[in-house]
Structure 1
Amino acid sequence: MARAAGTVRTLKQRLETLRPLEQGRRIRGLLRHARLHEFVGASDPDVRFNDRARARISRRSQRGQDAQALGRSRGGFTTKIHAKSDASGDIIAFDLTGGEAADAPHFETLLDIGPDIQPRVVIGDKGYASKDNRAAARSRGVAPVIPYKANEKNKPAFFARTLYKARSRIEQGFGRLKRFKRIALRCEKTARNFRSIVSFAAGLCLIKFVHTA
């Protein structure tokens, strides 16, 4: 203890000597240029005197935002839920990506996930419009009902507009999910926890009647 106190006292005297030479310099800059052996045994409680950041004291290392389904989009730093629903608009399967991800690349993923049910028709908005997506749906025996973009070539004259009106069902399903605050605000930090909350909320939406004794 006496040796540590003497080291600190010597350091303070050095600072008092150097202060008139450079009036505008901060104490942090002075300590960075001091010799390393002058810090041995010193235990200043002010963490601002540290010359570099230290590792976190915890069992787990600090993880980044990779693989957490977060990304920058026009709406901010968000998560996008790619989901598919049944004819009633209830969410039966979904996938998570960052907010900057496009819809079209996840079309085949949505076709393959979910319960083992063979649909006859798949309805999607223009975000899923592409020749490859329509071919992927037909190869699975599903008729694609996806509107064509204005710049697409060889557009057919017929489009099933009556069936396309049923796309509003999934919009209603998303509306029910957004009633849950933890989903609307992305309160969960990790993608695993957020996926669990979305699954739990989708399950609650599927339960339309609860019988109690």
Structure 2
Amino acid sequence: MGRGDLTDVEWERLRPFLPVSNGRCGRWRDLRQVIDGILHRVRTGVQWRDLPERFGPWKTVYERHRLWSADGTWERLLQQVQAAADIAGEIDWDISRWDSTIVRAHQHVAGARTDPPPAPASRGGRSGRTSGRNTVAKPARPAGGGGAGGEGLGRSRGGFTSKLHLSADGRCRSLSLVVTGGQRADCTQFQAVLANIRVPRVGSGRSRTKPDSLAADKGYSNGPCREYLRRRGIRHTIPEKTDSQAARLGKGSRGGRSPGFDESRYKKRNTVERAINRLKQSRAVATRYDKRGYIFLGTATTAALLIWLRG
């Protein structure tokens, strides 16, 4: 077993949630080899063609990652692992953290085709996101952000950049991820990040889609964000901007009350910064090498999945 490969314990935690093999990667032992190859590339940022031979043909590894990024398999695996942690009481739902980080894109990332990501052909006419042989992969949510063909790339003086928006629990593990262009404001993706939190319940019942409370910085301090949180019944700790406070005080009694702010709870917001640092220990997340936005989102989700598997 190479450095960074799944251990037997991690493999046993992941294996029950894997989709049924469609024969392209052979037996389950071979699928583990392919997943280890994907993890090696995510960790090191190496070009797919330069993967070590012990992972098998590089194109097999790449195609598996591309397909699982397109049909949402990586996202579902992350949600299933989160559900197992939720049953064990390992998720801190009392307060979740919101933030984003800029990811520099490699110069070769530009130039992706503008057509939508291809879907693998169905053998039996079935469609959807189910596992098995007759699955038609649906593209993941649009990466957003505009620019560069809508692949989540933004232009800046330093070149192309992407922005990774995320929420995190109290143990520095990502709950949800969204990729946009680097120029997009944090508050524009606030609802999208919250909507992507979906931890399934074991047995019957709806998936859990919201934390008990959250903390965010001043980038999310605006009326629409606060109104959305009040409408969903989520307590929040977000500092008020200076100009907003001055405008409210200038209106006197018509300005309303100041939003509640718990300083001691806000101090825990550094957890999301540490969650970002853990994600960026994977070089393929710290620097974007994927041309397609949905593949880069799959890369970031794979890195988050490994963090959850390793606690």
- Scaled by the length of structure 2, the TM-score of the pair is 0.45
Q: Which runs of 5+ in 2 are unaligned?
A: 1-110, 115-147, 199-206, 249-256
How many matched pairs?
Answer: 149
Distance verdict in 2 for CA 1:89–1:158, change over 3 Å: same
Distance between the aligned counterparts of 1:62 and 1:99, measured in 2?
Answer: 17
Say if 2:269 is the partner of 1:175. no
Q: Could you tell me how far 1:158 is from its partner in structure 2?
A: 5.1
Counterpart among 213, 224, 230 of residue 121 in structure 1: 213
Distance verdict in 2 for CA 1:62–1:164, change over 3 Å: closer
Alignment correspondent of 1:89: 172
Superposed counterparts of 1:1-213, under 5 Å = 63-64=113-114, 65-73=148-156, 76-115=159-198, 116-117=207-208, 118-152=210-244, 153-154=247-248, 156=258, 159-208=261-310
Distance between the aligned counterparts of 1:62 and 1:143, measured in 2?
Answer: 41
Q: Could you tell me how far 1:73 is from its partner in structure 2?
A: 3.8
**SS of aligned partner of 1:137:** helix
Q: Could you tell me how far 1:121 is from its partner in structure 2?
A: 0.8
Distance verdict in 2 for CA 1:159–1:95, change over 3 Å: same
Which segment drifts farther, 83-92 or 114-123? 114-123
Distance verdict in 2 for CA 1:146–1:174, change over 3 Å: same
Distance between the aligned counterparts of 2:112 and 2:296, measured in 1?
Answer: 19
Distance verdict in 2 for CA 1:141–1:178, change over 3 Å: same
Structure exhibiting the larger radius of gyration computed from Cα positions: 1
Note the alpha carbon deviations across 1:34-63, whole angstroms, 9 max, x for none: xxxxxxxxxxxxxxxxxxxxxxxxxxx972
Q: Assess if the C-alpha contact under 8 Å between 2:112 and 2:291 holds in 1.
A: no
- Scaled by the length of structure 1, the TM-score of the pair is 0.65
Distance verdict in 2 for CA 1:133–1:177, change over 3 Å: same
Distance between the aligned counterparts of 1:173 and 1:91, measured in 2?
Answer: 7
Distance between the aligned counterparts of 2:228 and 2:261, measured in 1?
Answer: 18
Identity among equivalent pairs (%):
32
Distance between the aligned counterparts of 2:216 and 2:276, measured in 1?
Answer: 14
